[in-house]
Structure 1
Amino acid sequence: MSSNEKTLFGHPMGLYVLFFTEMWERFSYYGMRAILFLYLTKSASEGALGLPEDTAGAVYGLYAASVYLLTLPGGWIADNILGQKKAIWLGGICIMIGHGVLALPATPSIFFLGLAFVAVGTGLLKANISSIVGELYPEGGAKRDAAFSIFYLGINLGSFLGMFIVGYLGEKVGWHYGFGAAAFAMFFGLINFKVNGKYLKNVGEKPNKKASYTYLYVVIALLAIAVLSVTTGMLDSIQLANSMKYIISGITVGYFIYIGFLDKSLTIIERRRVGVLFILFVAIAIFWSGFEQAATTFTIFADRHTDRDLFGWDLPASWFQNANSFFILVFSAPFAALWIWLNKRNLNPNVPVKFGLGLIQLGLGFLVMYFAAQRILDGTLAGMGWLTFTYLLHSLGELCISPVGLSSYTKLAPKKYYSQMMGLWFVGASLGNLIAGLFAGNFDEGNVDAMPGLFMQFCMYGAVAGLLMILFQKQIKNWMGGIE
């Protein structure tokens, strides 16, 4: 950042352009996501699709996984063809079109096509907008971490407004009114990016390199086959979703092997850093597989097993997801200040310790849900406090992991693979979302007795993974090669 550059609260104006673009995009994404699983599972008499829980969970998982999986080719396109700015712009247009399609009362096939547009657009936008945030701070350090926390505030402000407005419209007025509101939100984001993009100057203007288009053609062909297969009913969504677990894992491992071992142009320090990025990838996949149950199993719990009466009014079940956004809005700034305050005193926990703390809090949240699920086995409705406290723990865990992880990926990624490594970060979210969707298939009306045990599984996954991160934090930090 140059000394004569215009700033606001010590940060370049470009950060706030990205803040508001991401805010409106997350309004559209999380707003639609808040009602998606309900729309898939509610009956046709309620204006919804009426799918069984296992099928709906698979469809949701495939969609949510695709949203983040496509950040990998999205990063490649930015690196090799468009540059990050153009990728963000085209991605936003695709997202707006997709939500517009969802707003039209149509057949399931057309609805799934709309989901595909949203997924493709998010793949182009999501990784690249985060990459530009990192490029605004070439000096790195705690200030970059603070910038990502501010950026994360925009994400959660958008999701809070989106779930509040789209959730109400979808559940109380009409499903397609909610989807329409998501389309308008992305439209506002595009206007902001176009009008105020001048503050980004030359950041993200040009691709880093030029390469063969073969990779892009393969991705387009595979995506077209997948969309046609699902929309025409050629493939069973549950089998496809289960297969995707292994496909995503295989693609990711292959990418890390190629970058970390086969590309001889990287130094030994860069290769060790790639190893750290892989460890962080595994950790974030575990975290998101539990955290993203907010839109699936937790929504089922809110809709069917929670007393939602507030002064005689039945709260929309989707609004409970807003507890996460509320807590992030409350605690984002204090956490950003905390990291800087600790850093000045040489007390700032290193990256693996922060990840460990976040995973442990994820496990504690599922411990709360274990006890909540025990209470509803006799048909009693649980109080709203159970879900609220779980969201508090998961939100604090998110603040220990997500903004810190995003910042770490921008600092540790080899320059040659900058946007693609950011794409790999979001592939971790892809795998987590897919598992969360498949896991929701176990929560049907005839399987209530199994609910406590299912929640306890994720309690153990989070706690054990977190303890391992803390136990091996010194070795991981050494591989980071001096990067904090």
Structure 2
Amino acid sequence: MSEVVNSEGAKKKFSHPKGLYVLFTAEMWERFSYYGMRAILILFMTTDMAAEGLGLTTETAGAVYGLYTASVYLMTLPGGWLADNIFGQRKAVFYGGVLIMIGHLVLAIPGSPAIFFTGLAFVALGTGLLKGNISTLVGELYENEDGAKRDAGFSIFYMGINLGSFFGQLFVPLLAEYNWHLGFGLAAIGMFFGLIAYKVYAPKYLKEIGVEPKAKSIEKTGKSNNSVTLGIIAFILVLLVTLQLLGHIDVTTATGIAQALGLIIVVITMGYFINILFNGGLNLIEKKKVTVIFILFVGIAIFWSGFEQAASSLNLFARDFTNRFIGGWEMPAGMLQSFNSGFIIIFAPIIGALWVKLAARNINVRTPFKFAVGLVLLGLGFWVMVEAAQVAASGAKAGMFALILTYFLHSIGELTISPVGLSATSKLSPKKYLGQMMGIWFVGAALGNLIAGLIGGNFDPENVLEMPNIFLNVVWVSVGAGIIFFAASPFIKKWMGEVT
């Protein structure tokens, strides 16, 4: 009898909740749509109007790319607030998916830049509702689990993200070779499949998780209706303002707007953390953990500022300076980005299992050390690109292996930072601010994406001699940040307490 109990206990210890796979599927299709469209975005914007592109300069397209991708993640903060106070995470995820699908359908309509920016606005707003809240739901599935199993669960979830990304970056660029708008339309179909899967299976396997808003002010009292009304009005206002900004943006001033937005993000985020620390009703332990979330915010912003150049400077390098011929067929430039997702699919379960095995041997690699490793790997990837850029500067085309090796190093770095950071944020966050703290995590991604777009805008195909220096600057920043995380690990671990 004891053998049966031990067997069942072991099975339970190493199994994952079925709800994880519901969220895995929904996020997989959402990432299919997002990353598939992202793979062709800057290429579409810099293609001549005669070839049915927008005909923007590289600098302008890079700034617009940065503004859009920053907006996608920046909207997770109000998205977290709406979930915490009004919708609950479950409804927020579904509503976000609907907005994303509408956005991609709008992008599939040929027309003026105003139509194009309107589609981007819908995608940004929808992702703001979906992205942070679906990660929050994953965290709640592991509320009573140990850190290693929780990290393994997030790694599996992250594999689903990259499975969708992999196929999106294969098929959307391939279809876009025939018609840009067919590529955008395929992204909408992907989101539609994600919505269907979520609507059918979430009630069965998530049960009551994420149904009720977390904030106490939304408990069933007479005040709820007023809060709901105010929240809906705020959401509509954000929608209208965003549409106006993106639909009527003067693209000649895009760089200045992007730089201003970066400064605004930094100032608002600092103010938000200061307010939470001093006016958020937190005890000393909670304040220390929130401070750690801020430190991780800085680390993830630096990481994404380099990593997200995959769709800006590295994408342009693939198009203009890389030999992409396989036999007599030339691979579309955007398809090269699928190597990143492919590496994640291969190595996510391996890295996830590694954390569990190390923990079983009482070797628990803490979050700040993992961040340090990821940042150093990011720098090594760009060192490879320095060498490739020197080849391009000599007048030859670089081989695809340079980009593939870069994506490999970046992918392993991503696995040591992104799922682990998501997991740590969900564990460190005070309960009443959980959705907002997950939103802050994605604000770090917003800042990184914005910087990546600005760096990509400096990637001038007419000034090939500057390319090695552009990539070398990223090497110094990322490796330097990694060294700082190594040095600060003991301090950060102390403030994290029992959280790994």
Same fold (TM over 0.5): yes
> Kindly tell me: are residues 345 and 371 of structure 1, through their superposed partners in 2, closer, same or farther at Cα, counting changes over 3 Å?
same
- The structure 1 residue matched to 2:462, chosen from 429, 446, 462, is 446
- The structure 2 residue matched to 1:201, chosen from 207, 211, 215, is 207
Structure-2 residue corresponding to 1:58:
63
How far 1:226 sits from its partner (Å)? Answer: 4.2
- The structure 2 residue matched to 1:279, chosen from 287, 295, 299, is 295
Structure-2 residue corresponding to 1:372:
388
Matched, 1:93 2:135: no
**Which amino acid is the alignment partner of residue 381 of structure 1?**
K
Q: Using structure 1 for the length normalisation, give the TM-score.
A: 0.96
Is the Cα contact below 8 Å between 1:73 and 1:216 reproduced in 2? no
- Residues 355-434 of structure 1 aligned to structure 2 (within 5 Å): 355-434=371-450
How far 1:229 sits from its partner (Å)? Answer: 3.3
CA distance in 2, matches of 1:382, 1:241: 31
Matched, 1:303 2:309: no
- Residues 74-93 of structure 1 aligned to structure 2 (within 5 Å): 74-93=79-98
Matched, 1:474 2:498: no
Which deviates further from its counterpart, 436-445 or 188-197? 436-445
Matched, 1:262 2:279: yes
Partner of 1:28, secondary structure, is: helix
- The structure 1 residue matched to 2:139, chosen from 134, 141, 147, is 134
Structure-1 residue corresponding to 2:258:
241
Structure-1 residue corresponding to 2:182:
177
Matched, 1:143 2:146: no
Which deviates further from its counterpart, 212-221 or 452-461? 212-221
How far 1:262 sits from its partner (Å)? Answer: 2.4
Query: Structure 1: 5+ residue runs without aligned partners?
Result: none
Is the Cα contact below 8 Å between 1:7 and 1:13 reproduced in 2? no
Partner of 2:362, secondary structure, is: coil
Q: Using structure 2 for the length normalisation, give the TM-score.
A: 0.93
Is the Cα contact below 8 Å between 1:374 and 1:452 reproduced in 2? yes
CA distance in 1, matches of 2:273, 2:233: 22
CA distance in 2, matches of 1:234, 1:450: 28
Matched, 1:103 2:108: yes
CA distance in 2, matches of 1:217, 1:367: 48
Structure-1 residue corresponding to 2:162:
156
Matched, 1:350 2:366: yes
Matched, 1:230 2:236: no
Is the Cα contact below 8 Å between 2:118 and 2:246 reproduced in 1? no
> Kindly tell me: are residues 228 and 470 of structure 1, through their superposed partners in 2, closer, same or farther at Cα, counting changes over 3 Å?
same
Partner of 1:472, secondary structure, is: helix
How far 1:378 sits from its partner (Å)? Answer: 2.1
How far 1:261 sits from its partner (Å)? Answer: 2.4
CA distance in 2, matches of 1:221, 1:107: 24
Matched, 1:456 2:461: no
CA distance in 2, matches of 1:106, 1:8: 54
> Kindly tell me: are residues 126 and 233 of structure 1, through their superposed partners in 2, closer, same or farther at Cα, counting changes over 3 Å?
closer
How far 1:220 sits from its partner (Å)? Answer: 4.8
- The structure 1 residue matched to 2:43, chosen from 35, 38, 42, is 38
> Kindly tell me: are residues 125 and 240 of structure 1, through their superposed partners in 2, closer, same or farther at Cα, counting changes over 3 Å?
same
- The structure 2 residue matched to 1:312, chosen from 328, 347, 355, is 328
> Kindly tell me: are residues 377 and 131 of structure 1, through their superposed partners in 2, closer, same or farther at Cα, counting changes over 3 Å?
same
Structure-1 residue corresponding to 2:221:
none
**Which amino acid is the alignment partner of residue 126 of structure 1?**
K
Which deviates further from its counterpart, 219-228 or 177-186? 219-228
Percent identity, aligned pairs only, is: 56
CA distance in 2, matches of 1:375, 1:31: 29
Structure 1, residues 417-475: CA drift from partner, whole Å, max 9, x if none?
A: 00100000000000000011111111122221111011010000110100110111011
Partner of 2:458, secondary structure, is: coil
Structure 1, residues 274-329: CA drift from partner, whole Å, max 9, x if none?
A: 11000000000000000000000000100000001101110110011111001101
Is the Cα contact below 8 Å between 1:230 and 1:237 reproduced in 2? no
Structure-2 residue corresponding to 1:23:
28
> Kindly tell me: are residues 29 and 71 of structure 1, through their superposed partners in 2, closer, same or farther at Cα, counting changes over 3 Å?
same
Is the Cα contact below 8 Å between 1:65 and 1:433 reproduced in 2? yes
Paired residues, what number? 479
How far 1:7 sits from its partner (Å)? Answer: 8.2
Is the Cα contact below 8 Å between 2:121 and 2:242 reproduced in 1? no
CA distance in 2, matches of 1:481, 1:215: 35
CA distance in 1, matches of 2:13, 2:475: 41
> Kindly tell me: are residues 190 and 223 of structure 1, through their superposed partners in 2, closer, same or farther at Cα, counting changes over 3 Å?
closer
How far 1:224 sits from its partner (Å)? Answer: 2.9
Partner of 2:245, secondary structure, is: helix
Structure 1, residues 245-271: CA drift from partner, whole Å, max 9, x if none?
A: 0111111111111112222x2110000
Matched, 1:338 2:354: yes
Structure 1, residues 329-386: CA drift from partner, whole Å, max 9, x if none?
A: 1100000000000011122211100000000000111111111111111210001111
